[in-house]
Amino acid sequence: MSKPRVAFFDFSCCEGCQLQLTYYGKPFVDLLDHIEVVEFREVMSETTSEPIDVAFIEGSFTREADRARLESIRKRAAVVVAYGSCAATGNVNALRNNRPKDQVQEEVYGKDKNMPHLETNQEALPISAAIKVDFALPGCPVDRTELLKLILDVVHGKAPYIPDYPVCVECKLKGNICRYERGLWCLGPITKAGCNAFCIEHNIACEGCRGYVSNANLDSMEQNLIEAGMDPEYASVKLRMFAAYHYDEMRKQEQKAKEQK
């Protein structure tokens, strides 16, 4: 029986989520007993234009010129997984979405801003804005153990479980003392779990790299940040750091709902 053909693709990102797998060592090598990797730019030069069983896409959709490539991947792949927060939510790339594009190009690329291969002519969007995505695994970078489990689930035809409850649940299960009880801020109450509260366990605030839970209360979270001592203007900036696209979309929906009343 042939192994499932798996490919890894990247768009606008740092490619850190691909590197997470390469850093994993033996578990990743053992994975090769179960799958055939046919494209993976970080570890091999070969590419493919043939059908794929599972396509893993890293990076956000930032220019219309990439749509054709994404559509080609979707057409060839039985299953498409957006992995990493850039692909799943737009991530930090989406911070540029409410700023003039020319200004962003100038600040990022300076004198090289007009070079054709650096052109990003639209908002930074999740991959689902361009093609149908079957599963989306957040994380910046992805948790490699979670990614490995997802790969095994998908290639065996099993729908992976991706939490939609807050990091606070994982903190409680681990017995962590809530940062708010210590007078510190944290975005755990609105951030999707799945990281096993890694940052908090290492005495670092959750900054929301996995994106929002589906029922996130942004107003309440912002007020909590302010009450914990964060400057009000910075509080809204902090909420957008890893989830600017969803933050802006949720605010637009709230405004639309108010106008319809």
Domains of the chain as residue ranges with CATH: 5-155 (3.40.50.700), 167-260 (no CATH)
pLDDT along the chain (261 residues), means of 10: 91 92 88 93 92 97 94 98 96 92 87 84 92 97 92 91 96 95 96 95 95 94 95 93 93 86 75
Residue of 163, 168, 164 lying closest to 200 (CA atoms)? 168
Cβ–Cβ < 8 Å for 117, 9? no
Scanning the chain, the segments in alpha helix (DSSP H) are 16-22, 26-31, 67-76, 85-89, 101-109, 144-155, 167-174, 198-201, 218-227, 232-240, 244-260
Measured CA to CA in angstroms, residue 106 lies from 90, 98, 112, 118 at distances of: 21, 15, 8, 11
Residues 145, 162: Cα–Cα separation, whole Å: 13
**Phi/psi class of residue 118: alpha, beta or left (left: φ > 0; alpha: ψ in -120 to 50)?**
alpha
Burial class (CB within 10 angstroms; exposed 0-12, middle 13-18, buried 19+) of 124: buried
Residues 114, 112: Cα–Cα separation, whole Å: 6
What was the pLDDT predicted at 1? Answer: 61
Provide the whole-model pTM. 0.91
H helix count then E strand count, the chain: 11, 5
Residue 14, CB-side half-sphere exposure with 13 Å CA sphere: 13
* Polymer length of the chain: 261
Residues 57, 18: Cα–Cα separation, whole Å: 10
